[in-house]
Amino acid sequence: MKLRDGPSACPSLWRSLPCPPAELRLDLVLSSGQTFRWWESSPGAWTGVLGERVWTLRQEQDRLWYTVYGEEQDGRPDGAETDQILRDYFQLDVGLPALYRAWGAADPLFRKVANDFPGVRVLRQDPVECLLSFICTSNNHISRITAMIERLCQAFGRHLCCLDARPIHAFPSLSALAGTDTEARLRALGFGYRAKFVSGTARAIVEGLGAEGLRRLRTVPYAEARRELCALPGVGTKVADCVCLMALDKAEAVPVDTHVWRIAQQRYGAVLGGRSLTPRAHQEIGDFFRGLWGPRAGWAQAVLFCADLRKGQELAGSRDQARRSRGRDNRGRCPP
């Protein structure tokens, strides 16, 4: 990997943590729509921004290897600090195999899926980044969301370094997104109606809770945290549940969209929610899965969501390959 911006951007030495695949699968967790700031920079290696530093991660056998690209003026973190950042981000203090066994014992469908999708765990993200990112997910798909977040960071975030001639920026601060011209700039970047919600929520947090107040929602009950989030511009129940689960330590939060609703109805035979995804429907479906999977229901749902997403991507890839093959066959049958 070629590095620019001089010696201050050089990586530290590679370090590793014990982490078997049953506890973490980078390829599943970092590509399944929990976060949008990681990319596979080379086969098996994932590069992204965490804690305003650029990291590259790689798994080999039972170890998670990493290197950090820092800036000299910020001070380079020591190994104990970087180890703890990763442990916290991936919540490695939560033993995943025991949870998989418990969920599988309670749910034969989960048991069937889980064998092919080990190591799917929920990230513990920065609340501001998680909230503003998930506002961008409305009526959107992962590749487009990822591109939007990249444009957001390039336009408003602090430049960190360049890797392989690719400029990498930190996620923007709240103050950077709370300006009076932010909405117009985001619309110019292709955010559409989401521009109003991103800028409005950033401004509402600056003028209200503040970043620390948002982080303190980790200590309040789930229902209270969700209620506070739903009072922000553009934040509905689903986005609030994503933030509760992935940034605010509410492992019982089950984000419900039409996809999860369909899983509940078609695979579990659950007659829930009426004909539309009202707040009541969200509550009923979440309660159903909490009753099935227990206090970490959001983690179990993440496994099923990842499995469905990966299978959908594989199916789409197969269809694309078939179309290309048909195209080649048709060209082959054309007269000279």
Tokens coding 118: 């080990």
Strands of the sheet with 45-50, listed across from one edge: 15-18, 63-69, 53-60, 45-50, 38-42
Q: For residues 211 and 205, is the Cβ–Cβ distance under 8 A?
A: yes
Q: For residues 56 and 67, is the Cβ–Cβ distance under 8 A?
A: yes
DSSP collapsed to 3 states, 195-232:
HHHHHHHHHHHHHCCHHHHHHHHHHCCHHHHHHHHHCC
Distance CA 299, CA 111 (A): 14
**What is the residue whose two structure tokens read 């929920």?**
122
Tokens coding 206: 């600056």
- Residues recorded for the chain: 336
Helices and strands, counts by H and E, the chain? 15, 8
Catalytic hit among 196, 238, 250, 311 = 238
Distance CA 27, CA 45 (A): 9
3 state SS of 125: coil
Query: Catalytic residue at 238?
Result: yes
Q: Helix axis angle, 297-333 relative to 279-293, nearest 10°?
A: 100
Q: For residues 155 and 167, is the Cβ–Cβ distance under 8 A?
A: no
Which residues are the active-site residues?
238
